[in-house]
């Protein structure tokens, strides 16, 4: 059995608490002979600043590059509000994304039947929802130049952000989306605004070409981003994989996140290109939530997003979809059995803590085989 080299970066706030549950799941997977890991750990974020005066050390970056995948919990908190800008906790996260060249961000939105009532939408609209947003993460208007504010000298200023995409950037993100669709329900919805943006015209053209050349077996449709936002809250179950740029992806993935009820439930993955020599794809897995300083250290954090992130690593980095399915089924079972951390419990109902939720998921993994 292949040994997966995993770097764990627990970070700040509730990070170490939810990562502790991932370590217990890893220990269970090894004991049960389902997977084999070589684990390393390091610091990122505020804790790295406290120890080394940087948000992530070069040594930790080297470990991240050498690993098969990185798992990060969360960084940041009020304690580090006044540290130098370049050493702020988020700088560690940004360096990881940049140096590992993680251009594809995968954000699944899954609504477990047991939690359908936690969504702001009606049960029948969200129950059983399972869609995946593939967001381009390293290009587009957040990075394009020029990016300036100019004083026009007449009491006015002009601000410019530039939306730029080149063919190769659209081709590689489209391939990620089509490849993923093939492992799911075989449908891709590509989203841009070709009616008003030149970058949207190129996006649509390139996605269509990649489809016609390499992925004819996958169903492809195009939705304008504004219309897609509307459809996401009207009838989200019509979607399987949605592929879109950095800006629209940022917004659409947050809309999709809220369909499912709670931040504590949502894993994510960021993938780089496949290295032609080693066949290895750099990858980082992390929950969507932050370090939740308001509940840190209290044993209240929901570990499901973090454990779900391990599931994504098993599926997308380690080709062990059956283990990922088992993790997902265990989470669904625990929820169906009525176990709730405080963030997903209806007011006045009993709750469990972080460790108890972790234990319940591990026990469920044994029975859902």
Cβ nearer to ligand NAD, comparing 14 with 330: 14
| Residue 316 annotated among the catalytic residues of the structure | no
Cβ at position 69, least distance to ligand NAD in Å: 16
| Residue 117 annotated among the catalytic residues of the structure | no
> How far is Cα 140 from Cα 216, in angstroms, rounded to an integer?
27
Cβ nearer to ligand NAD, comparing 200 with 308: 308
Which residue of the set 212, 226, 275, 337 is catalytic? 226
Please report which helix (H) or strand (E) contains residue 144, including its range.
Answer: strand 144-151
Cβ at position 269, least distance to ligand NAD in Å: 13
Cβ at position 284, least distance to ligand NAD in Å: 10
Positions in the binding site for ligand NAD (CB under 6 A): 14, 18, 74-77, 93, 263-264, 286, 289-295, 301-302, 305, 343
Which residue of the set 142, 179, 187, 325 is catalytic? 142
Cβ nearer to ligand NAD, comparing 15 with 139: 15
Cβ at position 286, least distance to ligand NAD in Å: 6
Half-sphere exposure of 147 (CA within 13 A, CB side): 9
Residue nearest to ligand NAD (CB): 290
Which residue, chain included where needed, has tokens 């030149």? 198
Cβ nearer to ligand NAD, comparing 92 with 139: 92
Cβ nearer to ligand NAD, comparing 30 with 294: 294
| Residue 254 annotated among the catalytic residues of the structure | yes
Cβ at position 82, least distance to ligand NAD in Å: 13
Phi first, then psi, for residue 27 (nearest 5°) are: -60, -40
> How far is Cα 50 from Cα 45, in angstroms, rounded to an integer?
9
| Residue 239 annotated among the catalytic residues of the structure | no
Helix ranges (H only) for the chain are: 15-31, 46-52, 58-66, 89-99, 123-126, 167-182, 198-214, 225-234, 246-259, 304-316, 321-336, 354-367
> How far is Cα 324 from Cα 129, in angstroms, rounded to an integer?
18
> How far is Cα 20 from Cα 9, in angstroms, rounded to an integer?
11
Which residue of the set 23, 193, 204, 333 is catalytic? 193
CA 270 to chain centre: 6
| Residue 82 annotated among the catalytic residues of the structure | no
Which residue, chain included where needed, has tokens 């050390």? 57
List the catalytic residues.
Answer: 142, 193, 226, 250, 254
């Amino acid at each position: 059995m292949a040994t997966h080299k995993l770097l764990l970066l627990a970070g700040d706030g509730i990070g170490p608490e939810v990562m502790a549950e991932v370590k217990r799941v890893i220990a269970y997977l090894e004991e049960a002979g389902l997977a084999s890991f070589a684990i390393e750990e390091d610091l990122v974020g505020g804790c790295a600043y406290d120890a080394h005066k940087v948000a992530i050390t070069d040594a930790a970056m080297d470990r991240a590059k050498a690993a098969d995948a990185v798992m990060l919990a969360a960084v940041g908190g009020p304690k580090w509000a006044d540290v130098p800008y370049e050493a702020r906790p988020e700088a560690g996260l940004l360096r990881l994304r940049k140096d590992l060249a993680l251009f594809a961000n995968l954000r699944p939105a899954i609504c477990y039947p047991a939690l359908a009532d936690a969504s702001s939408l009606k049960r029948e609209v969200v129950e059983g929802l399972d869609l995946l947003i593939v967001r381009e993460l390293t290009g587009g208007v957040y990075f394009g130049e020029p990016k300036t504010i100019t004083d026009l000298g007449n009491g006015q200023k002009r601000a410019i952000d530039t939306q730029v995409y080149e063919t190769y950037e659209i081709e590689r993100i489209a391939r990620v989306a089509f490849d993923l669709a093939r492992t799911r329900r075989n449908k891709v919805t590509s989203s841009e605004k070709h009616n008003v943006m030149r970058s949207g015209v190129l996006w649509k053209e390139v996605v269509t070409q990649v489809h016609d050349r390499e992925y004819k077996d996958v169903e492809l449709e195009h939705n304008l981003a504004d219309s897609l936002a509307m459809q996401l809250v009207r009838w989200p179950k019509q979607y399987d994989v949605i592929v879109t740029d950095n800006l629209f992806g940022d917004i659409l993935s947050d809309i999709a996140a809220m369909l499912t009820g709670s931040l504590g439930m949502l894993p994510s993955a960021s993938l780089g290109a496949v290295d032609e020599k080693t066949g290895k794809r750099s990858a980082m897995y992390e929950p969507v939530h932050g370090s939740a300083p308001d509940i840190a250290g209290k044993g209240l954090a929901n570990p499901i997003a973090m454990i779900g992130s391990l599931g994504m690593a098993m599926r997308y980095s380690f080709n062990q979809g059956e283990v990922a399915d088992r993790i997902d089924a265990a989470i669904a079972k625990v929820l169906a059995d009525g176990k709730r951390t405080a963030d997903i419990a209806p007011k006045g109902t009993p709750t469990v803590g972080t460790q108890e939720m972790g234990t319940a998921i591990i026990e469920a993994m044994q029975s859902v085989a």
